[in-house]
Structure 1
Amino acid sequence: MGSVLKMQFVALVCLVLLNINTCNGVTPSLEPPQGNSLKLKSRTYEGKYVYQCKNGTWVPVSASAMLVNISDSKISLGNYSFEYSAAEPKLVGTWYLRNDDADAAESGSVTSIVAGNEIASRAGSDSGSIKQVIAEASFHKSFGTAYRVSYIQRLNTKGGLPPLNKSKYCSENSPVIVPFEAEFWFYTQDTIPPLAPATIAVPASDRAVVEGFFCEGIIDYSYDGSQWQRKNMHGKLYLVPGGDEVGSFHMSDKPDGHGGRFYLETYNPNGWQVVGKIISHPVKVEDDSIPWSLFKITSSSGNVSLVGPFSYYTMVGTRGGVPPVPSNVTKKGASWAGVFSCQFWTYKPCSPPFC
């Protein structure tokens, strides 16, 4: 197997079976990135997993549970469901969260919905329990409690695994129902940026926050014989994880006339584009994630005047994107594509008392 193909195969194994963080020698974190705050804790009531025997193996088919307040089971918070889909192998499930009266009146729905995909996992609370996971929101519907949910943790799991004795229970296409318990903790994306290290802080005269975006994308690396070199990075912008796509981010091979190479763009009807260059040395905040960075805007176009003029933007709250530790099988010219996410925050000049 060629070096490039071998690295791609290892990457696939890491992403599908383990998680890229584990392959980098870092224990996967079940904590959401900075810039997200805990909003709601729940636990399951009457939870059940359904498995079906296929080719002598138990396959998860579905799961369901009611959600109640973590400290008072009389307070209903909604429902949880899961339906296995080969097209969405990382799907953890869908949560139907009950809206309060005000949100229900505004949205016209008594519930708001969020679905999420697994991005990291650990073993269950004991040997007989389903794994604990953190999921990133992948879909939203209706305004309300779930509208700004960005990450969901499944913690303190009990039960939910199929029978170990396959010969006794596993006959082709026969289902088995297994009870389970878990806590689901819901996080929402903050409406203000996380505190950045001093070395990459926006200058005091430009700290008027304009807008924040969630970004998910790919970083392409090439191995030069001694270390991984970043060749390109690009991604899509969303207001929150799992929300509507509103823009894009990419790195250009050629800088603009002022040294900017990193393009941040929002789409019409009031779209704009800014180009930035990294100033100050980026700071690595988490071992398993790419550094946080400060960009000075070098040029802009589009409807910038509606919200700007922009002066800086930051890349913070990063997760993933770090290439694997080189080994004796890593050959010069090998490539690696790392999935990353982050938050971008745009800024403009201001004066006291507004900054």
Structure 2
Amino acid sequence: MWRRAFLLLTCYWLMMLCQYFTITQASNNVSAILPPVGNSLQAKLKTKNALRTYTCGSGGWTRVNASGDLLDFNTNKLVGSYTAVNIPTSHTNLTLLNSDADVIESGFLTSSVIVILITTINVTSSDVIESLNQAICHQNIGAAARVSYVVYLNFSGGNPPPTSLCTVEFGILESISIEVPFDVEIDIYTQDLVPPPTPTSLMVPNGTLVESFFAQGSIIYQYNGSTWLEQNISALLYNVIGGYVVGKFENLQKLDKFESELNWHIYNPNGFSLTGHNFVDPIVLSTTDVAWALFKITSNSGNTTLLGPYTYVQLVSTRGGTAPSLSDSVGLPPGLVWTSPFSGIFWFYANST
């Protein structure tokens, strides 16, 4: 019981933390709602018997929740259920039926993932959007255990009743609720088990892939009057997107004897600490996302791998983290600080000999 309570508390804390990350909106830019490279489409689903619930109050309708069944898009087979909640913060819980093997391993008939809205695109109705949603919490081993991103497409229905129907003639406004049918397609993505293809200069010269961690944090920039300079970077490290915290990544306060400026620290019981620096120039693959990079590890401490000390770390699959554009910065006072949320995946390599 206490483990379930702790999990729910952790999920709620992560939902609050994610409010720090700006929800962006792009005009009809479909690529904006695609997950970063390094996440692959695993299932296409659709809703059945889905309803949005609205309550009447404060002069209009407020969407409070939604629910429905989930079907396989092609076979129409029931695969789970869908629940969306808008209060206290907008998030969705997708519960998926486990396979027989997962049931034996986990002891649960279902597994679930909570996702939170991070990006939307405009469609014809202002109330119905298509969106990219990121996993922030998993429960139970099984079908939903590695879900990383969820994309909602092709909404139909679900709009609130006319505002004119939300009047005092209905009596106590807050007690009035109406359910509105809707349909939506749901694309399920999972975090890959191997790195995505990288530019040649960012390929590890030699080494064996050991493990990966999802990073989510922020980069702090300061404006000097003509350009934005990176001042600090820090992030929490997770076993997978929406998983549990396993460590942290940050700048060193000062260069160490190897002139390393970065530190990766994985917590006990199997913890280790690494320092390193850029091995080659980072490569910008998107104007909206921080550059991909390859770091050379200069020191290892704590538990090492069976393959020996760690040698390189790649940062790929990045999202966000860029400084404001210079064209938008004209006239800003020097010394201004900007915090830019980012995420990415670190891939760790060790000696291959």
TM-score, with structure 2 as normaliser: 0.88
The residue type paired with residue 177 of structure 2 is P
> 2:180 pairs with 143, 164, 178, which one?
178
> 2:342 pairs with 340, 349, 353, which one?
340
Cross-structure match for 1:106:
105
Cα distance, 1:307 vs structure 2 = 5.4
CA gap of 1:14–1:246, structure 2 versus 1, over 3 A, is closer
Structure-to-structure mapping, 1:152-231, within 5 angstroms: 152-163=150-161, 165-171=162-168, 172-173=173-174, 174-203=176-205, 205-206=206-207, 208-231=208-231
Partner of 2:318, secondary structure, is strand
Cross-structure match for 2:45:
42
Partner of 1:104, secondary structure, is helix
- What's the CA shift string for 1:58-107, capped at 9, x where partnerless? 2111100100010222x101000012222xx342x100001111111111
Cα distance, 1:340 vs structure 2 = 0.4
Structure-to-structure mapping, 1:141-156, within 5 angstroms: 141-156=139-154
CA RMSD, 1 decimal: 2.1
Name structure 1 gaps, 5 residues minimum: 1-12
Cross-structure match for 1:3:
none
Contact 1:129/1:158, CA 8 A, preserved across alignment: no
CA gap of 1:22–1:84, structure 2 versus 1, over 3 A, is closer
Name structure 2 gaps, 5 residues minimum: 1-18
Distance 1:94 1:185 in 2: 14
Contact 2:153/2:186, CA 8 A, preserved across alignment: yes
Partner of 1:48, secondary structure, is strand
Per mean C-alpha deviation after superposition, the further-off stretch among 338-347 and 247-256 is 247-256
Distance 2:244 2:279 in 1: 30
Cα distance, 1:259 vs structure 2 = 1.2
Cross-structure match for 1:4:
none
Cα distance, 1:329 vs structure 2 = 4.5
CA gap of 1:211–1:15, structure 2 versus 1, over 3 A, is closer
Cross-structure match for 1:9:
none
Between the two proteins, the alignment pairs up a number of residues equal to: 327
Distance 1:280 1:128 in 2: 45
- What's the CA shift string for 1:149-172, capped at 9, x where partnerless? 010111111121212x31233552
- What's the CA shift string for 1:9-30, capped at 9, x where partnerless? xxxx9965x61x759xx98711
Distance 1:291 1:284 in 2: 4
Cross-structure match for 1:116:
115
Distance 1:103 1:14 in 2: 35
Cα distance, 1:218 vs structure 2 = 0.9
Structure-to-structure mapping, 1:314-333, within 5 angstroms: 314-325=314-325, 326-333=328-335
Distance 1:202 1:71 in 2: 40
Cross-structure match for 1:249:
249
Cross-structure match for 2:61:
58
The residue type paired with residue 222 of structure 1 is Q
Cα distance, 1:119 vs structure 2 = 1.1
Partner of 1:47, secondary structure, is strand
Contact 1:217/1:234, CA 8 A, preserved across alignment: yes
Cross-structure match for 1:302:
302
Partner of 1:192, secondary structure, is coil
- What's the CA shift string for 1:299-335, capped at 9, x where partnerless? 1111125453111001110001112223334221111
Distance 1:71 1:28 in 2: 24
Distance 2:317 2:96 in 1: 26
The residue type paired with residue 34 of structure 1 is V
- What's the CA shift string for 1:270-315, capped at 9, x where partnerless? 1000101012110111221000000000111111254531110011
Contact 2:295/2:312, CA 8 A, preserved across alignment: yes
The residue type paired with residue 164 of structure 2 is S
CA gap of 1:249–1:15, structure 2 versus 1, over 3 A, is closer
TM-score, with structure 1 as normaliser: 0.87
Cα distance, 1:123 vs structure 2 = 2.4
- What's the CA shift string for 1:110-138, capped at 9, x where partnerless? 110000011101124x4276211111101
1:95 aligns with 2:97: no
The residue type paired with residue 165 of structure 2 is K
